[in-house]
Amino acid sequence: MYEQPTAREQFARDCMLVLENTRPAYEHIMKKAKRLNANGEPANTNTHALAEFIRDYVEFSIGFSVDAKQKEAGTVGALLIAQLCTGWGINPFYDMAQDFMKAAAESAGV
């Protein structure tokens, strides 16, 4: 039987789909993940730092897209994007950060 993902899981999957398949975003996040992996801090500390980095990146990108100065800012679509894609807290971004940290470690041969 198929188990429906939670809203958090679906949000993380949707974000990862975009972040992993958009080269500039992927490279930007992986660069940070590799730097964090090399800093000697505990893994959970680094993962949390990367989660905050990803959350800030995603929320900034969304904020820029729905900026009031943009032509489409006040439309229903822009308002839905802002409402549905922000305010998730750190947890789904921590899930994403774990995936990026694992990929960064594997690419470094760790």
pLDDT for 46-90, tens place per residue?
Answer: 999 999 999 999 999 888 877 777 666 667 877 788 888 889 999
The first and second tokens of residue 7, run together, are: 């809203």
Under 8 Å CB-to-CB from 66, ≥6 apart: which residues? 72, 73, 78, 79, 81, 82
Give the CA dihedral 83, 59, 17, 91, nearest 10 degrees.
Answer: -90
Question: What are the extents of the domains in the chain?
Answer: 22-105
Split at pLDDT 50, 70, 90, the class of 106 is confident
Give pLDDT tens digits for 15-51.
999 999 999 999 999 999 999 988 888 888 999 999 9
SS3 track for the chain: CCCCCCHHHHHHHHHHHHHHHCHHHHHHHHHHHHHHHCCCCCHHHHHHHHHHHHHHHHHHHHHHHCCCCCCCCCCHHHHHHHHHHCCCCCHHHHHHHHHHHHHHHHHCCC
Nearest by Cα to 78 from 63, 57, 56: 63
